[in-house]
Every structure is written in structure tokens, then in C-alpha cells.
Amino acid sequence: MPEISKFIYMNVYVRQLANHEGETVQLRGWNAQKRDSKGLVFMVFRDGTGFCQAVIDVQVVGEEVFEIAKRLPQESSLSITGKVVKDERQIGGYEIHVTALEVIAEAEPYPITPKEHGVDFLMDHRHLWLRSRRQWAIMRVRNRIIFAIHEFFQSRGFIQMDAPIFTGNACEGTTTLFETDFYGEPAYLSQSGQLYGEAMAMAHGLIYTFGPTFRAEKSKTRRHLSEFWMIEPEMAFYDLQMDMDLIEDFIRYVVTKVLEDCKNELQILERDTTYLEKVREPFVRIKYEDAVRIIKGEVPVSGRTSFDMLEEEKQKLLAERESAEKEIAEREAKIKSGTLKKGEVNFNQSRIDKLKAQLTDIAERLQAVEQWIHSARNFVRGNDFGGGDETVLTKMFGQPVMVYNWPQAVKAFYMKEDEQEPGYAKGVDLLAPEGYGEIVGGGERETDLEKLKRKIQEHQLPMSAFEWYLDLRRFGNVPHSGFGLGLERLVAWICGLQHIRETIPFPRSYGRLLP
């Protein structure tokens, strides 16, 4: 074993390897995975900034070190010294030819193996799951999104101000809130910073809040969390049009930044960026009533109605199911024939298992399509959209859709009524494509003091709790608008995730408080 002092070589991070090609460097991190053959160990080494392959050759490091490397359990921490070699086959483009290796801490048997695991198992091990490559990539994208959000607003002169988390009252009155004890009085965890945002906008003109939000809904869906992060800009002297322009610029900016700066992460996530690229085109903007006509199949989009689209979707799934069933039958027949070698049997069997899992998934999606057809047929004009209606609408366009001018009854009390169209509120929802649903909700705020008072009464909210809010109308009333963005839904859409629970380090949802 060559004598190598740990101080001779520069400590670098995996992320920087491209700058050190041909040099000998030292890295510190963890053994994410390895395989060995005679005389060689291939280790997937990670140090938090990235992943790279480390090659340990018995002829270079000697028997003793080689044995240590060969027996090193998954997720043990170690430092390695070696030469940086370009290798196009590797995900970062570089690998390390190790010349020295030092174990920092040997790990106990690691529960997350390089094999499929169920979601529940992974969620129970969330504290460790965060280390794996996919989760790592998602958190990097989340970080870039957060940074882009700040860049966007700060560069436009918005001030970040925070709304309180303890509140005395439900702001919109509808959703279930978490109740806590605030020095003997009931207090609720904030479900929105919106009303406070309005007060802050009257002080600073352009502001945005960025903080956690809590909803005690017992929702068990892939779109809901009990605790999530929301960004809520509020702008004095903005009407609905300006609000929509801002939403569009904002989403375009954030998505573009991720596309530019997170290529590696999106590649790890195997994200098809076709729909993301579409943010460069103008967003679709339609009024609620027109959206309803499209959902109900009364008006076609690019020559096809919602029912045409749903029927296509259904046929596609049926075809997928058929081909999966056929493949299963073929492979089962092969195995039964008894002519296969053991390895081939294993391969076929695991392929069958995978296809069966796919069949379960297809069945679920077919059920969803049936539900969408049902809800499109029975949609009652004047109602809010359900998850299925949103999906149908966005699938018709394949790009972000802004729906505005909603029936007042389905929107919050502070939404401004459209003078030209009484009964309709100047609210807007931005629906993400690919079934990711509502990621932004906002609109112009009601400025008429009497209308506000009336609506607070209609919603049966306690007037006393809103006196401070009404003061904003009494002292220098101005037209203003704002919106709220659900960070996790945006992360889910950009990363193309099946479930929102992967978008936040430690998700809190119905039935999940640990880890």
C-alpha cells in the first residue's frame, strides 16, 4: 500500500470533478452502492454534492485495502484518494481511480437496498431515503425552484415579509385547521398568509410571503399534504390582468431556470421535459364559463372534444393492458417449457412481476378515466372544478391553463366581483399540465367595504376578527391583487413525480408524523 498523507491532496467535492481531470484528489463521503469482481470493486461514491464511480483495483491499493473495500457495508462513510478520469459512461462524466481509502465509520446493515421498495417502507425510512439518488435530485430541483422564486421577486423589487403562523381565526372559514393552545386561548395554525399579505402590500407596495401552511384535511391523495410551503405575493395597484401577467412571467422564469440549471437532476429523474418547454409559449387564458363548455364536451379544442380525448386515453390504456397481459402469458409459457437456464428464468420472472405491477397501475388509471368521463358528463355549471375536471381541461391543451372569472359562490369572500359580469369573481387558477392540477390560485381583491362586510356575514365569519382587515379599505383603499403558489405542487410537476410526498424532506400528511 502506497504511503499517502491525507494532507497532500486537495479535498474536493464530486460536483467539482470536471475541474480536476487527471489530478489526484481526496473526497469524503459515503459508499452508496458497490459490486465487485475478482480484483476490482466498483463503488458508487456520493458526497452530497453528487455521485461518481470509484474503482478500487487490488493491484493498485494492495490486498489489505482491497479486502476492506470489498467488505465495506452500504452507506459506510469513508474518504478516498485517487485520480480523476473522464469516462462518458458515468452519470457525472468522471470516475475516480482510487489509490488510497480510509474508512471513517462502518455502517450497520442498511435497510434501503438497490432494489424496489414500497412507499410505506421508504417513508418510514425517509431520513435515510433522502440519501438516494432520486430523492437527492428532487431536493436539488426544489432548492433551485426556491432560489428562482426569490430571484424573480427580488429582482422586481418585491419585499419578502412573513405572515404569522399562529392565527386567531380561519381566514377563509372553510378548511379544517389545526388547533393549538395559545396561552390558554385557542389558536390555529395558518392556512394562508393572504390577508396579512394585503396589509403588508399597503405598507410596501410589492411584497411576497414564503412560509409554511397547515391544513387539517384528512385527504389521502397524491396532491395533498397537511403541512406545505406557500409563496403569496401581493401587489398594490394591480388588477386581474396584471396579476395574470405576473403569474405567467413568474412560472415561466422558474421553470426556465430549472431547465437551464438542473439538467443532471432532471436526467436522474428521467423527466420528459416536453411539457415544461411549453412554458415558453403564451399560457392559455380562458374564462370559467368557456372552460366549463370545454369540460362538458360542448366546445372542441383543436378539433376534438373532451370526450374524444378521454376515449383516446381509455383506448390507449386498454391497448397497454392487452400488450402487458400478452407479454406475461408469453413469458410464463417460456418458464413452463423448462428449457431456460436459471438466470433466464429469474429474468423472465422479474419481468412478469414488473408487468403485473404495471397492470395494477393501468387498472387504477382506467378507473380514473372512467371517473373523469363521469364527472365531465355530470358537471354542474357553477360548481368548482374537481381534480378530474382540472385534469381533463389541461389534457386538452397540454400546457399551463389559466381559468379566470369564477362564480363568486365557489371563491373566497375577499375576491373582487367583476362589475361587467355580476356574480363572477375576478379570481384566477393556474392549472399545471399532465394532471398536476391547481398550482396557483389568486385574483383581484374586493375593495368595496360594504360588499366585504356583507360577504363576511354571508360566509358566517366573525366580523370582529376581520375589523383590522376592513381597516385596509378604510385607510387609503387601492385596487390590489395577489396569488398563492403551492411550492410542493410546483416541485411535483417540474420533477414529474407521482406523489407530492417526495417533494418535501419530511412530509406531513394524514397518518404520517414520523420520522
Interface pick for RNA out of 22, 118, 157, 338 (rule CB under 7 A): 118
Taking the least distance from each CB to RNA, the nearer of 64 and 364 is: 364
Interface pick for RNA out of 1, 21, 23, 39 (rule CB under 7 A): 39
Q: Does 57 bind RNA (CB under 7 A)?
A: yes
DSSP letter assigned to residue 307 = H
- Kindly state the smallest distance separating residue 146's Cβ from RNA, in Å: 15
DSSP letter assigned to residue 11 = B
Q: Does 171 bind RNA (CB under 7 A)?
A: no
Taking the least distance from each CB to RNA, the nearer of 269 and 485 is: 485
C-alpha cell at 479: 385596487
Contact call for residues 372 and 391 (beta carbons, < 8 A)? yes
Strand, helix or coil for residue 89 = coil
Taking the least distance from each CB to RNA, the nearer of 236 and 497 is: 497
d(CA 395, CA 398): 5
Taking the least distance from each CB to RNA, the nearer of 111 and 300 is: 111
Grid cell 393549538 in the structure block, residue = 180
Q: Does 403 bind RNA (CB under 7 A)?
A: no
Q: Does 159 bind RNA (CB under 7 A)?
A: no
Q: Does 357 bind RNA (CB under 7 A)?
A: yes
Q: Does 81 bind RNA (CB under 7 A)?
A: no
- Kindly state the smallest distance separating residue 469's Cβ from RNA, in Å: 17
Taking the least distance from each CB to RNA, the nearer of 135 and 449 is: 135
Instruction: Please identify, among the stretches 24-32, 178-186, 302-310, 482-490, the one whose residues bind RNA according to the rule CB under 7 A.
Output: 482-490
Taking the least distance from each CB to RNA, the nearer of 11 and 498 is: 498
- Kindly state the smallest distance separating residue 439's Cβ from RNA, in Å: 5
Taking the least distance from each CB to RNA, the nearer of 260 and 364 is: 364
C-alpha cell at 80: 478516498
Phi/psi for 58 (5° steps) reads: -55, -35
Interface pick for RNA out of 489, 491, 493, 495 (rule CB under 7 A): 489
Interface pick for RNA out of 82, 233, 437, 482 (rule CB under 7 A): 437
Q: Does 115 bind RNA (CB under 7 A)?
A: yes
Cα pseudo-dihedral 283, 286, 292, 296, rounded to 10:
-50
CA 488-424-464 angle, to 5 degrees, is: 75
d(CA 99, CA 438): 53
Taking the least distance from each CB to RNA, the nearer of 6 and 374 is: 374
Taking the least distance from each CB to RNA, the nearer of 26 and 375 is: 375
Q: Does 24 bind RNA (CB under 7 A)?
A: no
Q: Does 335 bind RNA (CB under 7 A)?
A: no
CA 409-173-372 angle, to 5 degrees, is: 55
Interface pick for RNA out of 4, 40, 139, 366 (rule CB under 7 A): 40
Q: Does 74 bind RNA (CB under 7 A)?
A: yes
User: Which of 148, 145, 153, 142 has its CA nearest to residue 233?
Assistant: 153
CA 156-157-163 angle, to 5 degrees, is: 115
Q: Does 53 bind RNA (CB under 7 A)?
A: yes
Residues in region 180-219 near RNA by CB under 7 A: 192, 215, 217-219
User: Which of 509, 440, 449, 455 has its CA nearest to residue 474?
Assistant: 449
- The secondary structure of 446-509 as a DSSP string is P--HHHHHHHHHHTT--HHHHHHHHHHHHTT---EEEEEEEHHHHHHHHHT-S-GGGGSSS--B
Outline where DSSP puts E strands in 47-165.
51-57, 77-86, 94-105, 159-160
Residues in region 364-383 near RNA by CB under 7 A: 364, 368, 371, 375
C-alpha cell at 184: 390558554
- Kindly state the smallest distance separating residue 316's Cβ from RNA, in Å: 18
- Kindly state the smallest distance separating residue 225's Cβ from RNA, in Å: 4
DSSP letter assigned to residue 443 = E
Q: Does 336 bind RNA (CB under 7 A)?
A: no
Taking the least distance from each CB to RNA, the nearer of 116 and 471 is: 116
d(CA 512, CA 124): 9
Q: Does 486 bind RNA (CB under 7 A)?
A: yes
Residues in region 92-111 near RNA by CB under 7 A: 95, 97, 109, 111
Residues in region 315-334 near RNA by CB under 7 A: none
Taking the least distance from each CB to RNA, the nearer of 22 and 157 is: 22
Q: Does 234 bind RNA (CB under 7 A)?
A: no
C-alpha cell at 15: 460536483
Please list the residues that pair with 95 across neighbouring strands.
53, 85
Number of residues engaging RNA in binding (CB under 7 A): 85
Residues in region 244-303 near RNA by CB under 7 A: none
Taking the least distance from each CB to RNA, the nearer of 293 and 365 is: 365
d(CA 285, CA 376): 20
Taking the least distance from each CB to RNA, the nearer of 26 and 391 is: 391
C-alpha cell at 155: 429582482
Residue type, 436: Y
Instruction: Please identify, among the stretches 8-16, 85-93, 302-310, 418-426, the one whose residues bind RNA according to the rule CB under 7 A.
Output: 85-93
d(CA 435, CA 372): 11
d(CA 432, CA 336): 47
Interface pick for RNA out of 2, 48, 73, 186 (rule CB under 7 A): 73
d(CA 436, CA 254): 17
